[in-house]
Structure 1
Amino acid sequence: MAPAGATALHSSLCSLSPHKPSSPNSQQPNTQLSPTKPKSLLQKHPLYTPTHTKLSLEFKEKILCLEIMGVDSGKALSVNPDLRTATMESIHSIISFLHSKGIQQNDLPRILGMCPKILTSSIKYELGPVFDFLSQDLKVPDRSFRRVINKCPRLLTSSVKDQLKPALFYLQRLGFKDLSALAYQDSVLLVSNVERTLIPKLKFLVNLGFSKEETRDMVLRCPALLTFSIDNNFQPKLEFFVEVMGRKLEELKEFPQYFAFSLENRIKPRHMEIVQSGINMPLSLMLRSTDDEFRELIKRKTGG
């Protein structure tokens, strides 16, 4: 039986059926949307124009349902064309299923906005196996499903067999043993393609001159290294590090978090202050300190 929340969603958010007038003696408050409000909302939507008068009532209802849930229906329909032919019943069943797994109504705008494909996924063959993976492979308790999915909604659109399990196996071989960290902090690694995303980052670091063991230690200390773009992150920051800062690669081995800081907003301005002050400062101290702490460090080292 569908959860009450899903039933309420169907009746009060997504139904455009005319409501029967209440009996004069009825004391029950009408909590459903009035017939005029849905019409008004629909008429303001870009798809509800004189040129789209042939849209079916169910399609208009679908648009309204998405918009009231806080999902941009135009974007959702564009990203996931299958939504155009999906039935309202199938959409309701998916929302009911998500509710049953602890996903709350106010989580849906972000989750479905990022991954509208969820709305046309198979509960049995796609969504269900993801929650089984969280429970059985990552040891996530049912009460924590919401936290994990909110952290990385893309989990719900990833194949357990072709993506999640291979990524987990590869990461564990690298040395990622903390399942809690993978579930709650670094879950984006699980939805990263092993061949196209993870391995190229490791190869790039090895090609800089680090050994495989050193590279492994670097990514274990800073898992975000496996998510950074080689062209837009690694390459420009490395060039600045070597050519402008004149520092040795040994420092990157000790402080791989360097690549996590903004080149324009953090690395460059702080390097310039150090140069102008004529002092030396460890890379980690230079970047990790707050603005106030950094100024105090400069002041102390210059005797100001």
Structure 2
Amino acid sequence: MQDTTLHLSSLHPTTTTTTNNALSKPNFPTNFPSLSRPRNLHFPSLSSSKTSISLPPKPPKIPEIPSPQTTVPHHSDFQEKLLYLDSLGIDFFSLLAAHPPVVSASSADVRAVIEFLRSSAGLSSADIRRIAAMCPEVLAAKISDLAPVLTFLLREAGVSADALRRVLHRRPRLLVCGGVDTRLRPTLYFLQSIGITEINRHTSLLSCSVEQKFIPRIEYFKKIGFSYRDAISMFRRFPPLFCYSIKENFEPKFDYFMVEMGRELKELKEFPQYFSFSLENRIKPRHRQCFEKGVFLSLQVMLKTGEARFLDRLEVCCNSSIPVKNSPLWCTNYDENVL
């Protein structure tokens, strides 16, 4: 009987292999199921009787991790910066928590900024510590951005060289509030336009935004009944009004003024400093004392005087006749029946 060998390649749908010349294709039974090549199955190429299977490619070479020595210079700079700030009494990690970008500033840059502020503005180590706590962005700033601010304060805002240290100590944000052209100078022009001329006495306002801070407060005073002219007059008389919160200061104090005290708007116009006093510690206690004794005092007399003098005036009002019109105790709403 003649031996017939069937190669694996004969199963390929496109390849036919014969063992001898007489056999053109295998003699499969007629009911043998047809074989088809699975779509995603790959058969290795069989070029000879021996099956040759190619090995998978070698994995890509993993890049070498830099040795620890490559980070030594950065670590050294970080340590130098930490030690330098510590010598000034500044806790670097508290500074980092308040302003993370300071970590990217080199020790040379931080040192240069501090030395520039020392020599140009006369800042002491205590001033530097205060600036680092209130406005840590200053330590990561560029001298090219700080120098124009000092020049503006001296030449345009009217700050004297002797007062420059005090100005920066009080409001260090002036150094990084947005630049001379975009913030400081526009704010200066606005304050001058409403009649505030002694800008050097109110330099802290220069770091504020006209659109985001000044205009909303003027609009609030118009909303509660003041004309634009009267509102501007109040801010001109007492510029720190621009720094007070509408929700935390103006609204509760105005509500108490109108509802509990029952006063008129013209008193606020004459004494806008009313908003500078504590509602709980000064306004309410003194109003209640006046109310209990049946005494009506002007806002200025009731709030501005010291505690001892205030009590003395209450006693005078309770134990004497109606004050004359030129007395500071007299006001238009004085009721002679309260005594």
Q: TM-score, normalising length from structure 1?
A: 0.77
Identity of aligned pairs, percent?
38
2:315 matched to 1:299?
A: yes
Question: Aligned partners of 1:75 and 1:254: how far apart in 2?
Answer: 45
2:191 matched to 1:175?
A: no
Inter-CA distance 143–282: structure 2 relative to 1 (3 Å threshold): closer
**Structure 1 unaligned blocks of 5 or more:** 1-54
Q: How does 1:163-202 map to 2 (within 5 A)?
A: 163-181=183-201, 186-202=202-218
2:101 matched to 1:82?
A: yes
Greater radius of gyration (CA): 2
Question: Aligned partners of 1:59 and 1:75: how far apart in 2?
Answer: 15
Question: Aligned partners of 1:283 and 1:174: how far apart in 2?
Answer: 25
Aligned residues: 245
Report the alpha carbon displacement of residue 71 of structure 1 after superposing the two structures with TM. 2.2
1:256 maps to a residue whose letter is P
Aligned with 2:161 (options 142, 164, 167)? 142
Any idea what the Cα deviations from partners look like across 1:110-158, whole Å, max 9, x if unmatched?
122211111111111x101101111221133334321221121111112
2:253 matched to 1:237?
A: yes
Inter-CA distance 166–282: structure 2 relative to 1 (3 Å threshold): same
Q: Which residue of structure 2 lines up, in the alignment, with residue 38 of structure 1?
A: none
Aligned with 1:133 (options 135, 146, 152)? 152
Q: Which residue of structure 2 lines up, in the alignment, with residue 96 of structure 1?
A: 115
- The structure where helix makes up a greater share of residues is 1
Question: Aligned partners of 1:63 and 1:79: how far apart in 2?
Answer: 15
Q: How large is the Cα RMSD of the aligned pairs?
A: 1.5
Question: Aligned partners of 2:203 and 2:157: how far apart in 1?
Answer: 10
2:169 maps to a residue whose letter is N
2:162 matched to 1:155?
A: no
1:287 maps to a residue whose letter is L
Question: Aligned partners of 2:293 and 2:275: how far apart in 1?
Answer: 24
Q: Is the 1:152–1:188 contact (alpha carbons within 8 Å) kept by the matching residues of 2? A: yes
Q: Which residue of structure 1 lines up, in the alignment, with residue 281 of structure 2?
A: 265
Q: Is the 1:70–1:108 contact (alpha carbons within 8 Å) kept by the matching residues of 2? A: no
Question: Aligned partners of 2:187 and 2:139: how far apart in 1?
Answer: 24
Q: TM-score, normalising length from structure 2?
A: 0.69
Any idea what the Cα deviations from partners look like across 1:156-177, whole Å, max 9, x if unmatched?
1121111111111111111111
Secondary structure (helix, strand or coil) at the match of 1:56 reads helix
Q: Is the 2:157–2:203 contact (alpha carbons within 8 Å) kept by the matching residues of 1? A: no
Q: Is the 2:253–2:279 contact (alpha carbons within 8 Å) kept by the matching residues of 1? A: yes
Q: Which residue of structure 2 lines up, in the alignment, with residue 58 of structure 1?
A: 77
2:299 matched to 1:283?
A: yes
Question: Aligned partners of 1:139 and 1:285: how far apart in 2?
Answer: 34
Question: Which of the pair has the greater relative contact order for Cα pairs under 8 Å at 6+ separation?
Answer: 1
Aligned with 1:123 (options 136, 140, 143)? 143
1:71 maps to a residue whose letter is I
